Structure 1
């Protein structure tokens, strides 16, 4: 029904992803947006709203709030209240606001490592010590080192969690989340959980559990940050939200936002509403397509001596271990053969690369062929 094989020329569209290698024969497989057209319902809603011609200050519609509440209830059996919602122009601003709102000067902020790089930057941007907990490989999945979290937690006020994990692709189980929460309870940590990839589950056995849906006590010490942006490829419209059940934490977040955080884009609200109201058939087909792309990557990696990919449960971002290739600069190595990847060093481990497979099958096939040729033919 939806054509994910359609090649759409993104040149000349102010695309961060494609402009990076403008004029070069390099396939951009780096920053996390996809090359798929947004759902037709989203495009139609935006077209109608633009035709209105007035773009003043805006607020979320009652219908959008209702859709978010319904989504939490139907997907996760989590009954949230409208007053728990705090709309944000992005999850990254949300991470930085969390640092301001829920930690004290001199107290640390804990984050996994490797992790999406704004997690590693946000504490420093807000004059807080960065404390990192390694992600370790257990049963082919990347999980938090709980012993190290226990060790770091007494020095911290806040844990920045990423679930599903970017770049590792893990969807944390209930047992894993409860183990994290037990540590948070012992050490009075606030949990800010970035769950922006929660709709992008590729493992049919995985189930996403919002942190606030774990237990009533977990809800009271946490904020869940979500957005339709990655799911429906509308990241440039800048509409995200935090779900903060605890009134005291919510007030602190709202106070931190004053005079700093911009209002959400009007068209972001429009797109979010259309996506959540009519985007499910498109999302279902996108997930099938991405699962097919992931299978191609897994097949390719199995042919590359020493290169590995852990069990990948969610996101369209593959975290590939190239340490066995002993490359001085993995990114330059693959750019030389025409594939632009995200550097693992940015996320905390320079011996990995992150490959964005939110693209057409043809583009992915070409990228994997180029990578394979470089790996198999290297001196």
Structure 2
């Protein structure tokens, strides 16, 4: 079955009711390649399932269907080689709330929450918002052109104090696109066990591995001894472009840990909306052909971006191994104090500011858009960053 990833979808038209943070935040002259929101229509199976549910006409309080729990169990066993149980799942409306409630459940005021930068910005806000102490360790930058970002285990260990109780981890990594190697994760697991930490493993982009034949292995599956201290977060939102339907799942094998998390959520969060549950079930149950086609498109877009960046003096790219996000080092590109602002004003392209991720001088670019829109944005950037502009 063929899928259309080439035809642009109108997302700005206010009269159509197509509310979009990505396309409405900036003016009509700005091309947005910032927030992690793709411009592709979701899988036909998802759209059809939603149409059937909407036609029912009654949208009362729902509950997580057993079919969805089984679907996710099957997906995990097939895609991650991790047999999970239905009772391990706690569905909730979003991964970002889950980061906060996990912190409330697993730590107390005065405890410290550790993460590694650069990192998805909400990670950096969790400690302050929950009245905990924020700790950060820096990832190791690429040692040369084409080299990846790396986990610096020495820096991570040096950041741990007696107050450290929780590690917020991102696997695969947003924003660098790293798929962590086994030896890196093995060192991480050793530190977690030795310092008796809990782990929240955000694995939101795990179904978007871009290398042919790559398979995601959840942290708790790779190291079963960590399962009793780990909360794994999954969602169909990034893979199947369902972010606005707000459905995510915390997978927690340990019953005591699971109960603590569930109790922390009570009264603070609504249940997942009925359409989000329907969409998640259809995506995990029938969305695999669409996902495979998407991966081919993203590989092509990644290649297009890589070729373009190679032309830009002072700009480097560590080629992402996963996600539809690229992390650009523009510190030597003569863009002033705010590269984000400079490219928005001079090129008419909105990227994500690296300062929000804990690394000023970097930019995150979302290439999860149509080929025509990506090409148009890259041409604009080339006019500012390319050799002719130097």
TM-score normalised over the length of structure 2: 0.95
**2:2 counterpart of 1:14:** no
- 1:142: which partner in 2? 149
- 1:132: which partner in 2? 136
Residue of structure 2 aligned with 1:218, choices 199, 222, 226: 226
What is the number of residues matched between the two proteins?
Answer: 378
The answer (yes or no) to whether the contact 1:89–1:240 under 8 Å persists in 2 is: yes
Give the distance between the partners of 1:319 and 1:41, measured in 2 at CA.
32
- Using the TM superposition, give the Cα deviation of residue 187 of structure 1 relative to its aligned residue in structure 2, in angstroms: 0.3
SS in 1 for 2:271: coil
SS in 2 for 1:144: coil
Give the distance between the partners of 1:76 and 1:258, measured in 2 at CA.
30
- Using the TM superposition, give the Cα deviation of residue 286 of structure 1 relative to its aligned residue in structure 2, in angstroms: 0.4
- 1:319: which partner in 2? 327
Farther off after superposition, 73-82 or 182-191? 73-82
The answer (yes or no) to whether the contact 1:104–1:157 under 8 Å persists in 2 is: no
- Using the TM superposition, give the Cα deviation of residue 177 of structure 1 relative to its aligned residue in structure 2, in angstroms: 1.1
- Using the TM superposition, give the Cα deviation of residue 138 of structure 1 relative to its aligned residue in structure 2, in angstroms: 4.9
**2:363 counterpart of 1:353:** yes
- Using the TM superposition, give the Cα deviation of residue 75 of structure 1 relative to its aligned residue in structure 2, in angstroms: 1.3
Per-residue deviation, residues 216-244 of structure 1 (Å, max 9, x unmatched): 21111101100000000010000000111
- Using the TM superposition, give the Cα deviation of residue 338 of structure 1 relative to its aligned residue in structure 2, in angstroms: 1.1
**2:36 counterpart of 1:32:** yes
Give the distance between the partners of 1:259 and 1:349, measured in 2 at CA.
36
For structure 2, list consecutive stretches of 5 or more residues without a partner in the other structure.
none
Give the distance between the partners of 1:352 and 1:211, measured in 2 at CA.
28
Q: How does 1:99-114 map to 2 (within 5 A)?
A: 99-114=103-118
Give the distance between the partners of 1:276 and 1:205, measured in 2 at CA.
19
Per-residue deviation, residues 339-360 of structure 1 (Å, max 9, x unmatched): 1111111111110111111100
Give the distance between the partners of 1:51 and 1:72, measured in 2 at CA.
31
**2:344 counterpart of 1:335:** yes
The answer (yes or no) to whether the contact 1:174–1:209 under 8 Å persists in 2 is: no
Per-residue deviation, residues 260-305 of structure 1 (Å, max 9, x unmatched): 0221011000000111111111110000001100000000011111
**2:297 counterpart of 1:293:** no
Give the distance between the partners of 1:25 and 1:143, measured in 2 at CA.
37
- Using the TM superposition, give the Cα deviation of residue 378 of structure 1 relative to its aligned residue in structure 2, in angstroms: 4.4
SS in 1 for 2:308: helix
Give the distance between the partners of 1:138 and 1:203, measured in 2 at CA.
19
SS in 2 for 1:142: coil
The answer (yes or no) to whether the contact 1:95–1:192 under 8 Å persists in 2 is: yes
The answer (yes or no) to whether the contact 1:163–1:195 under 8 Å persists in 2 is: yes
Residue of structure 2 aligned with 1:254, choices 259, 262, 275: 262
- 2:375: which partner in 1? 365
TM-score normalised over the length of structure 1: 0.97
For structure 1, list consecutive stretches of 5 or more residues without a partner in the other structure.
none
Per-residue deviation, residues 160-216 of structure 1 (Å, max 9, x unmatched): 000110001001122211110100000000010000000011122643210110122
Residue of structure 1 aligned with 2:310, choices 287, 302, 306: 302
- 1:162: which partner in 2? 170
SS in 1 for 2:140: strand
- 1:76: which partner in 2? 80
